[in-house]
Amino acid sequence: MKKILYIDMDGVLCDFYGAHKKATAKNPQNQFPQSEYGFFTNLEPMKDATFAVRQLMDSKVFDVYILTAPSVLNPLCYTEKRMWIEKHFGMEMVRKLIISPNKGLSKGDYLIDDNTSGNGQNLFEGELIHFGSEKFKGWEEVMIYLNKI
C-alpha cells in the first residue's frame, strides 16, 4: 500500500513569497497583491519543484496529493490555484488537489510544508517535512530523504 504524501503549494511548489515581494515593491500601496486577479495563476515554480513532483507522481511508494490552504479573503485563489496545478501537472493532479484551511484534518503519512503551524500543520498526525528548514533546504534534500523510504 502506498504512503500518502501531501505537498503544500505556496513556498513549496510555487514562489508565492518572491512574487509577493516583487508586487509590493512595485506598488507599496497594495499590501495584499495576492488579492489581484492572476496573482496565483502566474506564480513561478520553485527550483526543482516540477521535476521532483513528477518523479513522486510516478513513484511506487507514494500516493501524492497537493494540500494547500486558501487565502480565505480572496475567492480568486481557489480557482487560480487549481489552474496553476493543471498548467504545471495536468488533470491527474487537479483531481488530487485539496484546498483546506486546516491541514491537520487530512490523514496521511507525510506533509511537505514551509510552515510548521498556522494552518493545522502542527496537528498533522503524520511526519511534517519542513521545507526550507536547515534539514530540508530545498527539493534536492527532500528527494534524498524521500528516496530512502
Q: Give the model confidence (pLDDT) of 106-136 as tens digits.
A: 999 999 999 999 999 999 999 999 999 999 9
Domain hosting 58: range is 3-146
Average pLDDT of the segment spanning 57-64: 97
**Is residue 55 a contact partner of residue 12, using CB atoms and an 8 Å limit?**
no
pLDDT surpasses 90 at 31: no
Number of domains the chain is built from: 1
User: SS3 of 138, please?
Assistant: coil
Residue 112, SS3 per DSSP: strand
pLDDT band with cut points at 50, 70 and 90 for residue 73: confident
CATH number of the domain that 81 lies in? 3.40.50.1000
Cβ neighbors of 56 (< 8 A, separation 6 or more) are 5, 7, 62, 64, 146
